[in-house]
Chains A and B, each alone.
Chain A
Amino acid sequence: MTVTERQQLSYIAAQAADARVNLEIETEGMTLNIGPQHPATHGTLRIVAKLDGEQVVAADPVMGYMHRGYEKLAEVRTYPQVTTLINRIDWLGSFANEVPFILAAERLMEVEAPPRAQWIRTILFELSRIANITLFLGDMAVQVGAITPVFFAFRDREHVLNQIEAATGGRFHPNFDRIGGLKDDLPAGWIAETRRAMRKIRNFCDEIEELVEGNEIFQARTRGIGVIPPDVGLSYGLSGANIRASGVDWDVRRDSPCGLVHDQVDWKVWTHPDGDSFARFWVRLQETREATKIVDQLLDGIPPGPIMAKVPVIIKVPAGEAYVETENPLGVMGYYVVSKGDLNPFRVKIRSASFSNVSITPWLLKGVYVPDIITILGSLYFILGDIDR
């Protein structure tokens, strides 16, 4: 068989190309856009990840795809109208959003809700925490690949939502909190029903503990992944279960209570020393249990009395400024309200937990693998409405 000159030349060229590749083997980075439309980002968070193979070199969260301008809108609404807006910030635990704003307005007006309203407020506050975190417990399993637990989460969250609906009339956006108290009293039979719901939630927690937390694959996927040291977490402004999972014993409900009656009941702040994704999951699981205990104790001792304090029909808030923060399901949420004595607030600044919690992602995602991005984002647990507002 004769070899033509052309074939010989191409052979030499191929060998030269091989040698070049062997000499200077170099890999090219790839930029992967995770989001804004992506099944794992529950909402429209976009992560721009620069990858080397499957390893993340740099990751930047891009926010603002769902910005709705609530701070600006609040300036042209009267005080009672603002609660309708801020219901939509953390849409899984809506009632908890209303509480700090109402407390700030009450502080400016120097009114205090009657004890009965305070107790019911605290109960609903904790119920919205349970409704919110229940979904996280199922969702975290989806992030690492098990799709069944989330159905259990939806099933059992329903019991809590039913109670919120029975008391407030709204399943997701109650708009129930008023300056000086609450809109209505509790319906008949609500307390016994809520106790039953709390029992079901505790069963759900046991189920999740067996099904998800005890699973070896789940532990292999979450232990040691996305470790946040306490000092780094604090410097990024992390709060809530994310910082408690790093061993920082800080809970606004216990440390600086204002207007809510968490100090009247016996409960415990859970922390975990590890600071990894598993610890964040574990702390939230314990917190859900603890919240059911808080609700159970509060149900025992709801004081009698009126549900509203004496407030004028047209609410004018005297000039001044107030900042109130509470321990919401996602972390510390605060409202800084400035009033010039009008019907509308002059300025409202919302400090939402998820915004700070997500800001740590560029630091946290450096060097992890692509599957771990999803685990870490899932365990940080943000809600897009809470980031973008």
Chain B
Amino acid sequence: MISLLAELSYWQVTSIRLAAGLVAVLLVAGTLVYAHLFKMVSFMQSRLGPMEAGPYGSLQLLAEIGKFLQKEDIVPRRADRFVFKAAPFVVLTSTFLLLVVLPGGPDAWFITTDLGIYLAMAVSSVSVIGILMAGWGSASKYSLLGGLRATGQLIAYELPLLLAVVGVVIQAETMNLQEIVLAQANGEIFGWGLIGNPFILTQFAGFVIFMIAMQAELTQTPFDMPVAESELVTGYMTEYSGLRFLLFFIGEFATAGVFSAIAAVLFLGGWYVPGLDPADNLFNVLGPLVLMGKVVVLTFLVFWIRFTFPRFREDQLQRLAWKFLVPLALANIVVTGVLKVVV
């Protein structure tokens, strides 16, 4: 792929990357919305879900997008107009920035940098600003409460998220996501290298902490206090309509997909499947699909939990973060570090 891209001019490469980025965000978000939000949840709740638009309702999402695009873009009279209008784009920007460091195959990546996971964790915080903007700019009390809750929660859960990653970084000896995948692909379990060494086996505590913190970062139930629909209507999204609501909606599901992809890269071996040579050129085509499969499995977990559990209260979820997840993550780092030195 590199050799192919090298012959193209700069604007051609840029447009290919842009198209790939859009496909990666929108296709993943669309698949997750259809497979999980429309169908899986419907089956959980003993109903069919959408059945009319397309075979088994598979075109329902397009119909929904058409509906949202037709709606009026309402801005509340006393809203801070610029902040209100810009907020959904800021949230979506963080999703696209997260995608930049994700490797999809040995040569299929947007950028590869030694700061990989560090950069991902840093840009994931950008969405907090967008959510706070939405909460403040809406000039609505429900939005303000939702925005403040979201900010407190996202900042609190950033810490266990980051600390859970540290264990993986220690084990892989790199922060480059591509090399983390290769470390898992080429690793071996006590000399048995058939399935590589996916870090979920050695870093199981880290995986669990990462998934819990991710659930909170995505503001999904049981951590959906910021958008708690039975009390705050929909929190910081209350005043949005039409296209801007759609952007929040896409942002929510695309971020779920991208975060799951990062979890898949860190703990499940990313684009690698056991039994093949990781340097094989086949992975440039197969890799994104494998990654997508792992993303679907992880998001299934996310949405399964989302539609089963009640939500924590604000103080309870802060307690969970600071008193349980952070100490556990620190202990995990200590154990990993000691074992790394000893073994």
Which residues of A pack against B, CB within 8 Å?
A: 30, 32, 34, 38-40, 54, 141-148, 151-152, 155, 211-212, 215, 217-218, 220-221, 369-374
Residue of B nearest to A145 (CB): B311
How many residues does chain B have at the interface if contact means C-beta atoms less than 8 Å apart?
A: 28
Are the CB atoms of A145 and B309 closer together than 8 Å? yes
Q: Choose, from B128-136, B224-232, B285-293, the stretch at the interface.
A: B224-232
Interface string of B315-337 (1 = CB under 8 A from A): 11000000000000000000000
- Say yes or no: A215-B310 contact (C-beta < 8 A), given A54-B145, A371-B231, A374-B230: yes
The answer to whether B313 touches A32 (Cβ under 8 A) is no
| Contact between chains at A146 and B309 (CB < 8 Å) | yes
Given contact pairs A40-B230, A143-B230, A370-B231, A148 touches B314 in the complex (Cβ within 8 A): no
Could you list 27 examples of A-B contacts with CB < 8 Å? Answer: A30-B141, A39-B230, A40-B230, A40-B231, A143-B230, A145-B222, A145-B228, A145-B310, A146-B221, A146-B308, A146-B309, A146-B311, A147-B307, A148-B307, A151-B45, A152-B45, A215-B310, A217-B309, A217-B310, A220-B316, A221-B310, A221-B312, A369-B313, A371-B225, A371-B228, A371-B311, A371-B313
* Complex contacts, A141 vs chain B, CB 8 Å: 310
Residue of B whose beta carbon sits closest to that of A155:
B46
Cβ-defined contact, B231 with A217, below 8 A: no
The chain B residue sitting closest to A146, CB to CB, is: B310
* A144 → B minimal CB distance (Å): 4
Instruction: Note all chain B residues with C-beta closer than 8 A to A34.
Output: 231
Which chain A residues border B224 with CB–CB below 8 Å? 145
Residues of B near any A CB (own CB < 8 A): 41, 44-47, 141-142, 145, 221-222, 224-225, 228-233, 307-316
In the assembled complex, the CB of A137 is this many whole angstroms from the nearest CB of chain B, namely: 13
**Additional 4 contacts, C-beta under 8 A, given A34-B231, A40-B230:** A32-B145, A146-B311, A148-B44, A372-B313
Contact, CB under 8 Å: A142 / B230: yes
Neighbouring A residues of B222 by C-beta, 8 Å: 145, 217
Residues of A within 8 A of B309 (CB): 145-146, 215, 217
Interchain CA distance A218-B47 in the complex, whole Å: 24
Task: Report A-chain residues with C-beta under 8 Å of the C-beta of B314.
Answer: 54, 369, 371
**Contact status A151-B46, CB under 8 Å:** yes
A151 touching B310, Cβ below 8 Å: no
State the Cβ distance, A381 to closest chain B Cβ, in Å. 14
**Residue in A closest to B319 when the chains form the complex, CB atoms:** A220
Q: Are B311 and A217 in contact (CB-based, < 8 A)?
A: yes
A370 to B41, CA, bound (A): 28
Alpha-carbon separation in the docked complex, A386 to B41 (Å):
34
Residue pair A218, B233 in contact (C-beta under 8 Å): no
With contact pairs A145-B224, A148-B307 given, residues A39 and B145 touching in the complex (Cβ less than 8 Å): no
B160 shortest CB reach to chain A, Å: 18
CB of A139 to closest CB in B, whole Å: 10
Determine if B228 and A151 form an interchain contact, defined as CB atoms under 8 angstroms apart: no
- Given the contacts A54-B314, A145-B224, A221-B313, A373 and B231 also touching, CB distance less than 8 Å: yes
Chain A residue, CB-CB nearest to B142: A32
Bound CA–CA A141/B231 (angstroms): 13
Q: Which residues of B contact A373 (CB under 8 A)?
A: 231
Q: Which residue of B lies closest to A156 (CB)?
A: B46
Most buried by A among B45, B310, B314, B315: B310
Contact A39-B316, Cβ < 8 Å, known A32-B141, A145-B224, A148-B308? no
How distant is the Cα of A151 from the Cα of B311 in the complex, in angstroms? 17
Least Cβ distance of B39 to chain A in Å? 15
Which chain A residues border B232 with CB–CB below 8 Å? Answer: 370
- Find chain B residues with CB under 8 A from A146 CB: 221, 307-311
Q: Which residues of A contact B225 (CB under 8 A)?
A: 371
